[in-house]
Homo-oligomer: A and B are copies of this chain.
Amino acid sequence: MPELRKDPITERWVIIATERARRPMDAGFESERKPQGLCPFCPGHENLTPPEILAFRDGAPANQPGWKLRVIPNKFPALRVEGDLVSEGVGLYDKMTGIGAHEVIIETPEHNLRLSQYTEHGIELLLRAYRERMRDLKRDIRLKYTLVFKNEGSAAGATQPHSHSQLIALPIVPKNVMEELHGSSTYYDYKHRCVYCDIVRQELKDGERLVIENPDYVAIAPFASRHPFEVWILPRRHEACFEETRDDQCGFLAKIFSQTIRRLEKALDHLSYNMTLHTTPFGEGPLPYYHWHMEITTRLTKVAGFERGTGFYINPTPPEEAAAFLRGIKL
């Protein structure tokens, strides 16, 4: 059984996935092991994966070809749904049983398609899959948060070439989300406004760091970008929970996500990136101070060591230059 353990100083929880590695040298992501021959994510190989949790398909039977998108449990999950959530102390330390979910979203049946090559309808299906899985997992009262993320390119940590996203549902709220909740709630106490709403207003007014906008969403290069060409996508109006995105908004969200990625791919050779969805923890309801958003951080491998080693960031590309460059891209 995997364990969740808390750092007693910073209160950062980590998963110690005891069953995943056999020997010290195996210390990688087994879920993303290089496939030996057959791709388990391709149509016709459904028997190589656990049975699907969700799929978008036109009438075809489950766990058979004919799907457009497919969600499966991770074959080597970091957390498990079965069992009781037990919290206990170990001397001064705290740990918890590794209850949760770990799923893989196979985004497309086509083996070699990158997200930037999907139709907008294809991207809309992906966003709807994120939403449906979050709505479903929210019903499990043991779970406090769902981390949705996508690693594109080997520099970003993707070793399975067939395009996919992942989802990890947790019985705790991750530290980076706690920090955002704390910071935005402090701002709200002082100003009685959502800090993200203020950011959206200022960026639409200044225009300098604006990448693109549409009636429902904006894409900006954040003022204190940690990474070159970092882009955040936010709803223009206050929305705390991603999973409450309405059907009529999904098209605009797909459009801005697609255009952002396509611009980044045109701007940067061999683009690798991480996308993370930041949303309100389950059970918090529509907070007045928190605003869901997507963070897209490109990976230029040279800077990777510094940030990890120090927890500090040096960004050689001012966000104003990155935004201007991305705005100027012809699609």
Chain A residues close to B by CB (< 8 Å): 5-18, 20-21, 24-30, 32, 78, 90-93, 147, 149-151, 155-159, 168, 170, 174-177, 179-180, 183-184, 187, 195-196, 198-199, 202, 206, 222-226, 228-229, 267-269, 274-276, 297, 299-300, 302-319, 321-322, 325
A184–B24 CB distance below 8 A? no
Of residues A91, A299, A308, which shows the largest number of chain B Cβ atoms within 10 Å of its Cβ?
Answer: A308
Copies in the complex: 2
- Tell me which residues across on chain B come within 8 A of A300, comparing CB atoms: 27-28
- Tell me which residues across on chain B come within 8 A of A175, comparing CB atoms: 311-312
Cα–Cα distance between A149 and B308 once the two chains are bound (Å): 11
5 contacts between A and B (CB under 8 A): A6-B224, A9-B195, A26-B316, A151-B305, A276-B311
A8–B229 CB distance below 8 A? no
Cα–Cα distance between A223 and B89 once the two chains are bound (Å): 12
B151–A24 CB distance below 8 A? no
- Tell me which residues across on chain B come within 8 A of A15, comparing CB atoms: 312-315
A10–B179 CB distance below 8 A? yes
Separation in Å of the A172 CB from the closest CB of chain B? Answer: 10
Of residues A156, A196, A304, which shows the largest number of chain B Cβ atoms within 10 Å of its Cβ?
Answer: A304
A180–B10 CB distance below 8 A? yes
Cα–Cα distance between A15 and B307 once the two chains are bound (Å): 12
- Tell me which residues across on chain B come within 8 A of A304, comparing CB atoms: 157, 304, 308
| Chain A binding surface SS class | mixed
B269–A9 CB distance below 8 A? no
Known: A10-B179, A11-B183, A310-B174. A24 touches B321 (CB 8 A): yes
Cα–Cα distance between A274 and B147 once the two chains are bound (Å): 27
A92–B309 CB distance below 8 A? no
- Tell me which residues across on chain B come within 8 A of A310, comparing CB atoms: 147, 149, 168, 174, 176, 274, 276
A20–B316 CB distance below 8 A? yes
Cα–Cα distance between A171 and B29 once the two chains are bound (Å): 39
A32–B302 CB distance below 8 A? yes
Cα–Cα distance between A224 and B300 once the two chains are bound (Å): 28
A92–B199 CB distance below 8 A? yes
- Tell me which residues across on chain B come within 8 A of A18, comparing CB atoms: 318
Separation in Å of the A43 CB from the closest CB of chain B? Answer: 26
A8–B306 CB distance below 8 A? no
Known: A29-B303, A223-B7, A302-B157. A311 touches B174 (CB 8 A): yes
Cα–Cα distance between A32 and B177 once the two chains are bound (Å): 33
B302–A29 CB distance below 8 A? yes
- Tell me which residues across on chain B come within 8 A of A223, comparing CB atoms: 5, 7-8, 90, 93
Cα–Cα distance between A9 and B91 once the two chains are bound (Å): 34
